[in-house]
Structure 1
Amino acid sequence: MMSLVLAMVWTRRGQAVTLALLAMFAVAAAVASPAYLTATDRAIAAGQIETATPGERSLVIAGAQDARIQTGGPGFADVGAALVELPGFSYVYSSSYPVIGLEKSVAYPSRVVFRQDVCAHVRIVSGRCLVGEDDVIVGARTAERAGVRAGDPVTLMNAVMEDDPVDPYWKKDGAPERLVVAGVYEVDDPADVYWGTHGYFTSLAGLGPAEPVFTDANTFETIEHGLTDLSIDGLAGPGALNPDRLDELRTGLLALTRKATEIGPNLQVDTAIPALLDRIESGRAAAHLLVPVLAVPLVLLACFSIFLAVGYGTQGRQSELAIVALRGSRWWNRWWLATGESLVAILAGAVAGCLAGQLLVNAVAAARFPGVGIEEGWASLRYAPFAALAAVGAAVLAQRRQLLSPVATLLRRNPVAANGPRALAVEAVVILLAVVAAVQLAVSGGSLSGVGLLAPAFVMLALALLAARALLPLVTRYASRALAAGRLAPALAGFQLSRRPGAQRLFALLVATVAVAGYAACAIDVAARGRVVQAELGVGAARVLEVSPVHRSRLLHVVRQVDPEGEFAMATVRLRNSTGLEPLGLAADTTRLAAVATWPDDAPPVAAVVRALRPEAPPAPVIKGSELAVRATATGVVKGKEVRLNVALSSLGGRGDTLVQLGDLGEGRHDYVQKVPACAEGCRINGLQLMVNGNVTGVTSSITVSSLGATLWRMPRYGTVSSAPDGLRITLDAPNGLPEGAWLHPLDTPYPLPIAYAGSSSPGAVLTGLDGKPMSVTEVEGLPAVPRVGRNATLVDLEYADRFAIDGAPALVPEVWLNDRAPADIAERLTAEGLTIRADSRADQVRRQLDEQGPALSLWFHLIAGGLAVLLGAFALVLAAAVDRSRRVEDLSALRVQGLRRAATSRATLWTYPALVGIAAVTGMATAVVGWAATGWALPLAGVNPADLPLPAWPRVLVLIGTTVLVLLLLATVALATGRDLRRRITPR
């Protein structure tokens, strides 16, 4: 019996090979999914590790110890014992304490730092590095300020801060130590991972970059000192950040943290490695959702192809099965002869599919993830038996009619139609499953778990079945009309498509294959464009430099000094959010917005937004030198309720902001003069503040202030202000006192301040300003999103918002945005002007990081799935044509004998399947779009922790058209080839 089955396979070896290939695809899809996920898990880890920031590849173990009493914190020996828990790291030991004696100012201390191997990470510009006892090296900017050079002696003393409420300073707290400046150094890359997160080179207001005084361990101990900061910086090496050992790394970090807690409460472990590990896990979780989304429909499609192929093949040999049944063969012989030929081909294809699936993934992984490697093992084969059983089940199900039908039915030339109650019931079940899966996906908020994971597969399959039932009757109607009109070729082609029982299923299969390819194209295109939006609009510009705390006016001044023409740089800061309920706010130098910022799609023209945010405004009141002189006349001064006058100033030379206290106003006219060094190049007056001492209530007074020019002023609370012949007249009325002072603001900005906003609801008429005070605003433009900040945010002009503010505090999140035309040394230029770069974000770097995250890497499987789906359709088409060939050759040859013209025969043979493919391609892409609308919104395509940005939700029309044309060309080529083969066999020719 087996030899007979093998003979049948050999006789119809073309069909057997095609069926084996379909089975191979089914099993290969089941093998490729877990194999690809395994490779992707490794690739995600390797990619995230490669693109991680220095802080995500290092850790800092920090503590403090009082060297005078040898208590208060752990020493290096105690800390080092904890490192046994975390192998694979290289460590740098360091310690520091504050000193004075080098700088002329005592507003800030210098830091004496011992750091292991420091000479290998600095560049000596004069003198030499550390060699002997009492050697120190100082930074180039520090040496210039202090007036020292290599070889000069210097005396340093330990320092502590004197917390004077008016003028805090650092004072001596140890014996002076005479040392030698062995050399002057510079650091090429202050952000290098070697320097850790200690802020050694943080910019200091009025001084510029702070540079440590480096020395060796012996000299460090020679200087008398007290409280000392101890730290160990650990840099993770390849052994620690091995993609296969990340669980061990997480466990080691937890053990290290527990050990540090046991050693002492002052010992802290600071690291961003857990954030890196969390990002890797989140990326893997997204990949494990995205890959099955198309792996499941691919396996179902392969089983459907097998069902269709076996059904076609069995119909072609019904006469053989009828003879077997007529001879009265026992049921198991009949069953074996009916199914054996298909089962042999399927089993051979299943074995080949196990190998093909793994080899396919290996090839893709080698090309896409070079150097990552493939994890060895049998885990990828765990779903192969299920796929093989599904293929066998599909084959048996396709032959159920031939196994159970009587001989008379098997001998019929026209097969029983496939539109009976059972077929309708099966299709109804599929449609019901699609509805249930889609509803579950919507109700769960897009959770791709349980039935929701199957939603894309069942939705596309259900739509394909509905399309087949809706369109093929139209083909029958068209063929009937063509026959009535005497157009024989279209009529013959149409009847071939509509009257063959398997044609409807073949059409549904082709629609489903195109739908899977189209769905994959939708996901790939939407995800790719989303990554562009995240990288460009999410960063805000081609490059964004976050700088250390600095005054807003200084930030504006420095950026405008570095880029006077406004061609490549823009200063930005964040608005303060006192309530936590306001939208995020960005204040930007809008004069450069068009040149620098990445502007969102569908937003108003940037030039129009700039005009709305920055209308013409009166000039600001200024003082032209370092002497602030105010003449004030006060009347009604009550003893114990004296009013104090303060003036908020911003340096026009970029020296920052300050609040100058002029003192209490006496009765009558007086001149109040104060030296303000920051105003050597002039200052802008931001506001006047009237204060009283303590909790005094019932404050009333009349004050006239002159020497402030002709600027108009406003007074929101506690009184009124008006112009007077001799200056500015202020009527103060504060029955409940002045807890925060009464402020007067010059009208040198539009009022209320114009803002652009993004969000579904209006931000209101009042926002928190740069100084944390309420700021009256008016909405002038709506945006889909504010660059870098998101879809629920506001945008204001930085200069106007700064004039609106009256504090002297540093800016919140000061940044310098740069476009791609910024010079390569822009960071050095900004540093030379006194800014210190804390972070450097680049759109292209963010794009690379996103390209290495789970969603981006998993979508390569969608590309594989789309290609395999189209190949499945092509093989099914070939098999259907091969089975139909003998019957059609017989029919058309008879018609040729009866006088059918050769031209009509050629058109009937050549365009039957191409017409089917053309209709299926258009319908399949429409199915993909509908399926995407129903389920695509739930796919985690945006990466890990995406920003709140207007990410694209729909693929581009050109992508859909291009995919349709590409699939159509492939399937039409196969269809034309089968038609030519059929035409060649028809006689007479």
Structure 2
Amino acid sequence: MIGLVLAMLWTRRGQSVTLGLLALFAVAAAVASPAYLIATDRAVAAGQIATATPAERGVVITANQDDRTVDPGTPDFSNVGAALLNLPGFGYTYAAEFPAIGIEKDNLHPSRFTFRQGVCAHLRIVAGRCLAGEGEVLLGQATAARLHLTAGSAITLTYGKFVDDPRDPYYTEDGEPKRLDVAGIYEVPEPGDIFWGTHGYWTAVPNRGPGEPVFAGATTLKAFDHGRTEMSIDGTAGPRALDIDHLDELRAGLAKLNASAAQLGPTIQIDTSMPYLLDRIEAGRSAARVLIPVLGVPLVLLACFSIFLAVSYGSQGRQPELALVALRGTRWWTRWWLATGESLIAILLGAVAGCLAGQLLVDAVTAARFGGIGSGADWSSLRYAPIAALAALAAAVLAQRRQLLSPVATLLRRNPVAANGPRAVAVEAVIVLLAVISGVQLALSDGELTGIGRLAPAFIVLAVALLAARALLPLITGYATRALRGGRLGAALAAFQLSRRPGAQRLFALLVATVAVAGYGVCAVDAATRGREMQAGLGVGADRVLTVEPLFRSQLRNAVEQIDPHGEFAMAVARMPSSTAGEPAALAVDATRLAAVATWPGGAAPAAEVGTRLRPPTAAPILLQGEDLSLTATGSGMLPGRPLVVALSVTSLTGLGDAVVQLGELHVGRWTYQQRAPVCAQGCRLNGIQLNTTATIVGVTAKMVVSAIGTVDPALLDPAGWLAPAVAKIAADPDGLLIDLDAASGLPTGAWIRPADTPSPLPAAYAGEAPIGNTLTDMDGALMPVELTDRLPAVPRLGQRGALVDLEYADRTAATAAVALEPQVWLNDRAPADILDRLGAAGLTVTGDNSSAAVRRQLDEQGPALALWFYLLAGALSVLLGAGALVLAAAVDRARRVEDLAALRTQGLRRRTAARATLWTYPVLVAFASLVGVLTGLATWAMTGWALPLAGLNPPSLPLPGWPGVRSVAVTTLLVLILLTIVAAGTGGDLHRRIDRGTGN
């Protein structure tokens, strides 16, 4: 019997090879899903480690120590070594630094006298040499040029002690001066190298430029008379610590280190962001574990369906043989073996090859995409191979059930039994029911891809494909009838070939499903790609965002205008305060530069138009000249024991800062109040006049007539040009501006009378829900009315709920001299390469540097992006399955069609008509299947795509695209159509040639 089955295999070796290939694809798909998941787990870890910040790749242990004092609480770094044993595979760098003065022209920003172990290996010496002995230091190239020092110069430094003067903080000498020799001048080739840790050595210093420590050796540091010193041990994770297969050990080691922190003492601080890195890796892996099975399951089901269809087609072609076996009365096991042996052997051979092919395919894809990461040696990728093989065998047996159980008369029928019996309808009904249940479960779980909800895409694709195929048969039959009546014999023969073959319906369903799976995969990949583009663009706000140390808003704007006077590449940005829980976050931006710099959301009004509406024309500000401020006013109506203090809020016009200048207590009668304000040395803007008293005093009343403010034009004291709070009224007076104050509840924050040099309410653009009461918190922390000019799909950086106002107007509305909240400089792609140096020279200290390119690189290495490469692989495999099933169906039909059409040719059927009947049967089927398949894929995407974690498990608040681009879907459909059409046309051409040979033409 085995020899007979092998002979059957050889006789129909084409069909057997095709069936084996389908089994190979089925098992390869089952192996590919877990194998790719293993590779993705490794790639996610490797990608996040490669794009991690220095803080995420190391541990910093710091302590302050004063060698001049004997303090029992002084940290002892000798105890740290035992704790570090919990982190094997780390390299450690010892460092110490303290402030020193003597070579800089001011004592506000001292030199950083620094020892860092192994520093010479990470510097480039441009003059002189590196450190060799005691008393030698290295100076940075910019520092040496600015101070006119060279290698060999002698300098003197003294330990600097900070004097916390609220008006004028500075450093003073506190130790014996130390004479030092400049051994060399250095530049740093890689300021972002992990060796430098998180100490910010190269952070720009205001009015000085790039930060450059004075490096010294350990002996020099010890010989220097110094006080409080910041000591640190930087632990940098090496390849062993960050080995992809040992991240769990790293997490456990970090937990032990944190647990031992209490034993080291409260003065020793341990800082690390490595847990955030590990959490991000785990989140990416979790997203991949959700995404990959979503298309892995339908791929396996599709493979089993293709095997079922292929075996079913082959069994129909072998019905005469099986009828002869049954007619001879062979035993049931012999009949079963002869019926199924040919298919089972082909499937088993294909399954064995599929185990290897699936792993090799994933290895090839991961090698191309992940480089040297590899898929890892893990036999768990084969755990589903036996299940897939059994499923393929079960599909083969199920496909032959009719031939195994039918009587001889049925097997001898030339016209096959229609595939629309009660059992077929029941199976399809069950599939439709599962699609409904899984879809409902997905919706009720709010998109949580667990349980049967994870199978929703697979069941929906299969259900729609089966329903479409069932609807197709009546349409084809009707068309065939009309074509026959209309004399279109070729079209009628082709249509009847499809309508009278029960396997054609299943073949159509299979082709629809293959195209749908490929289309669904493209939908996910394209939507995710455009989503990552949005996160890296709109989510960051601009091509590059620099965060600077806190400074006044006017200083921020002046510095940006200094480096970019024409508004071509830079924009000043600060965050608005938020005083209520339901208030949207708001950004204050330089609206004149919004169009040039910000990444703008699609679907919004042009940025230039929005910027114009945010900054309408308004009255000019009141300007004061010189640092000597004066105010002439007449006071009256003050109650005894309730004194009032007069103050002016001013902002420098040249970036010297803001100040609230106290002029003194309000006197009865006419009085001129004077005070010197250094910020106004080069001119300043008046923000407001304040009347204030002790916070506990209530029932405050007074009248003050302002007659003059410095040399300001008296016409500007018109009450129409001023705004007052609810506790004060303003009116005209023959001597000037009358301020009538009546604060029964006191003045906890003072009463500010401000020039009306900004629009009121302040224009604002917003996204999401409108601010409650059309109000936002102003820079002083009080609610201010806003005029909502534009509604945006999203606010750059803030997302789908936020607001935008103009920075200068928002600054003018503020009277208190508070620093900017989260000051930033946004840059576009035209920013110069030395932008950091320019900002440093303009007085800005950059503390953070983020870019859309860096965010995009990190997003591309996260779990969703890496997992979606499997969708492309699954789409390609599904199309190959469809093509293989199409070839097998045509091969099985070939003998009967050659016989039928050859007979018709001998009876007078024209060659052209026979050609139409053979060449266009399967291409037309493929064309309809491609159209229905892409619509099925889009419908499935509409019902389930929203639940896929394409942006990770915690998606940002951005209007991420929910639909793929039209071009991507169209190109994919066209490629699939071309491939399947070529296969279909090839089968038709082969059939036509065989008919010609059979008729001798």
Scaled by the length of structure 1, the TM-score of the pair is 0.96
Equivalent pair of 2:98/2:159 in contact (CA under 8 Å): no
Equivalent residue in structure 2 for 1:890, among 879, 886, 899: 899
Q: Give the gaps of 5 or more residues in structure 2.
A: none
In structure 2, what residue type is equivalent to 1:813? Answer: E
Equivalent pair of 1:417/1:501 in contact (CA under 8 Å): yes
Q: Provide the identity percentage.
A: 61
Question: Distance between the aligned counterparts of 2:435 and 2:698, measured in 1?
Answer: 73
CA deviation digits over 1:810-846, x for unaligned, max 9? 2111111111111111111111111122122121221
Equivalent pair of 1:200/1:212 in contact (CA under 8 Å): yes
In structure 2, what residue type is equivalent to 1:439? Answer: V
Matched, 1:246 2:247: yes
Equivalent pair of 1:542/1:819 in contact (CA under 8 Å): yes
The SS at the match of 2:8 is helix
Deviation of 1:535 after TM superposition, in Å, equals: 1.0
C-alpha spacing 1:107/1:247, structure 2 compared with 1 (3 Å): same
Equivalent pair of 2:26/2:300 in contact (CA under 8 Å): yes
Equivalent pair of 1:79/1:260 in contact (CA under 8 Å): no
Matched, 1:359 2:357: no
Equivalent pair of 2:573/2:823 in contact (CA under 8 Å): yes
Matched, 1:677 2:678: yes
Deviation of 1:436 after TM superposition, in Å, equals: 0.8
CA deviation digits over 1:724-754, x for unaligned, max 9? 3433221111122211111111111111100
Matched, 1:640 2:622: no
Which deviates the most, 451-460 or 98-107?
Answer: 98-107
Equivalent positions of 1:95-494 (< 5 A) are 95-98=96-99, 111-121=112-122, 131-135=132-136, 151=153, 154=156, 156-157=158-159, 159=161, 161-162=163-164, 174-180=174-180, 182=182, 188=188, 191-200=192-201, 212-494=213-495
The SS at the match of 1:502 is helix
Equivalent pair of 2:695/2:746 in contact (CA under 8 Å): no
Deviation of 1:674 after TM superposition, in Å, equals: 1.9
Deviation of 1:266 after TM superposition, in Å, equals: 2.5
Which deviates the most, 177-186 or 690-699?
Answer: 177-186
Which deviates the most, 380-389 or 47-56?
Answer: 47-56
The SS at the match of 1:806 is coil
**Residue in structure 2 matched with residue 910 of structure 1 by the alignment:** 919
Equivalent positions of 1:491-640 (< 5 A) are 491-640=492-641
Deviation of 1:75 after TM superposition, in Å, equals: 2.3
C-alpha spacing 1:525/1:148, structure 2 compared with 1 (3 Å): closer
Equivalent pair of 1:191/1:838 in contact (CA under 8 Å): no
Deviation of 1:167 after TM superposition, in Å, equals: 5.9
Question: Distance between the aligned counterparts of 2:104 and 2:731, measured in 1?
Answer: 48
Equivalent pair of 2:592/2:612 in contact (CA under 8 Å): no
How many residues of Structure 1 are paired with residues of Structure 2 in the alignment? Answer: 987
C-alpha spacing 1:211/1:532, structure 2 compared with 1 (3 Å): same
**Residue in structure 1 matched with residue 90 of structure 2 by the alignment:** 89
C-alpha spacing 1:625/1:912, structure 2 compared with 1 (3 Å): same
C-alpha spacing 1:897/1:120, structure 2 compared with 1 (3 Å): closer
Question: Distance between the aligned counterparts of 1:261 and 1:458, measured in 2?
Answer: 55
Matched, 1:867 2:862: no
Matched, 1:765 2:774: yes
**Residue in structure 2 matched with residue 935 of structure 1 by the alignment:** 944
Scaled by the length of structure 2, the TM-score of the pair is 0.94
Equivalent pair of 2:472/2:505 in contact (CA under 8 Å): no
C-alpha spacing 1:51/1:249, structure 2 compared with 1 (3 Å): same
Matched, 1:821 2:830: yes
Question: Distance between the aligned counterparts of 2:127 and 2:729, measured in 1?
Answer: 62
The SS at the match of 2:542 is coil
Equivalent pair of 2:108/2:171 in contact (CA under 8 Å): yes
Equivalent pair of 1:156/1:176 in contact (CA under 8 Å): yes
In structure 2, what residue type is equivalent to 1:840? Answer: D
Equivalent pair of 1:552/1:811 in contact (CA under 8 Å): yes
Equivalent pair of 1:75/1:230 in contact (CA under 8 Å): no
Which deviates the most, 392-401 or 629-638?
Answer: 629-638
Deviation of 1:717 after TM superposition, in Å, equals: 2.9
The SS at the match of 1:848 is helix
**Residue in structure 2 matched with residue 60 of structure 1 by the alignment:** 60
Matched, 1:714 2:714: no
Which deviates the most, 414-423 or 623-632?
Answer: 623-632
Question: Distance between the aligned counterparts of 2:975 and 2:689, measured in 1?
Answer: 71
C-alpha spacing 1:577/1:357, structure 2 compared with 1 (3 Å): same
Question: Distance between the aligned counterparts of 2:109 and 2:635, measured in 1?
Answer: 39
Question: Distance between the aligned counterparts of 2:645 and 2:871, measured in 1?
Answer: 71
The SS at the match of 1:576 is coil
Question: Distance between the aligned counterparts of 1:190 and 1:809, measured in 2?
Answer: 32
CA deviation digits over 1:115-135, x for unaligned, max 9? 323455566788876555455
Question: Distance between the aligned counterparts of 1:158 and 1:570, measured in 2?
Answer: 36
Question: Distance between the aligned counterparts of 1:377 and 1:805, measured in 2?
Answer: 63
Question: Distance between the aligned counterparts of 1:184 and 1:661, measured in 2?
Answer: 50
Deviation of 1:97 after TM superposition, in Å, equals: 4.0
In structure 2, what residue type is equivalent to 1:686? Answer: N
In structure 2, what residue type is equivalent to 1:667? Answer: V
Which deviates the most, 588-597 or 122-131?
Answer: 122-131
Deviation of 1:95 after TM superposition, in Å, equals: 2.5
CA deviation digits over 1:172-207, x for unaligned, max 9? 6x5444443637867646554333323445566677
**Residue in structure 2 matched with residue 76 of structure 1 by the alignment:** 77
CA deviation digits over 1:537-582, x for unaligned, max 9? 1111111111121211111111111111111111111111122431
In structure 1, what residue type is equivalent to 2:644? Answer: V
- Across the aligned residues of Structure 1 and Structure 2, the Cα RMSD in angstroms comes to 2.4
In structure 2, what residue type is equivalent to 1:458? Answer: F
C-alpha spacing 1:836/1:615, structure 2 compared with 1 (3 Å): same
**Residue in structure 2 matched with residue 25 of structure 1 by the alignment:** 25
Matched, 1:795 2:795: no
Deviation of 1:642 after TM superposition, in Å, equals: 2.0
Question: Distance between the aligned counterparts of 1:183 and 1:550, measured in 2?
Answer: 36
Question: Distance between the aligned counterparts of 2:580 and 2:642, measured in 1?
Answer: 33
Deviation of 1:670 after TM superposition, in Å, equals: 1.9
Equivalent pair of 2:159/2:225 in contact (CA under 8 Å): yes
The SS at the match of 2:371 is coil
Deviation of 1:241 after TM superposition, in Å, equals: 1.8
CA deviation digits over 1:515-554, x for unaligned, max 9? 0111111111111111111111111111111112121111
The SS at the match of 2:419 is coil
Q: Give the gaps of 5 or more residues in structure 1.
A: none
Deviation of 1:871 after TM superposition, in Å, equals: 0.9
C-alpha spacing 1:127/1:409, structure 2 compared with 1 (3 Å): closer
Question: Distance between the aligned counterparts of 2:85 and 2:813, measured in 1?
Answer: 56
